[in-house]
Amino acid sequence: MARKVMLEAINTGHRLLVTPEEIRLWGEARSGLPAIEDRPPNIPGPPILRIVFDQQLLNTGESQYGDRPGGLELVSWDEWVAELEVRNLALKVAIEVPGMLDDRYEFVELDRPRSEIS
């Protein structure tokens, strides 16, 4: 798996974060906090996983997310990663460039169980 991730990084400028520790360290390095956002009642599916940064964090009040029951809730990294693991997801992030701290990420479904990767 390490070789596949390395080749993906070389070819796309991205890398996959799979382990709880590397995900938490990436988020904390960018002053990000884990959050779970409830979906509106008319949209089915599990709650939305997010990492909130700076201004997003300031906008997490009830007025900002009043249309969602429970709104955006900051949670522990352990709780957030547990939900990520249940869904068998990893984070796809940009390869770090000296002098830049890119906080963009996307969720990627793993092609095999996490236990086979870690």
Using alpha carbons, list the distances in angstroms from residue 112 to 1, 68, 89, 118.
10, 33, 10, 11
| Predicted pLDDT at 114 | 64
pLDDT at 45 over 60: yes
**Which tokens hold the place of 115?**
């236990």
Give residue-wise pLDDT tens across range 55-109.
555 555 544 444 444 578 889 999 999 999 999 999 999 987 777 778 899 999 9
pLDDT band at 117 (very low <50, low <70, confident <90, very high): low
pTM (predicted TM-score): 0.72
Q: How far apart are CA 50 and CA 74, in angstroms?
A: 9
Tell me how far the alpha carbon of residue 70 is from its chain's centroid.
Answer: 20
- At residue 67, the pLDDT reads 46
pLDDT over 50 (residue 1): no
Residue 42 pLDDT more than 60? Answer: yes
Helix (H) / strand (E) element for 113: namely: none
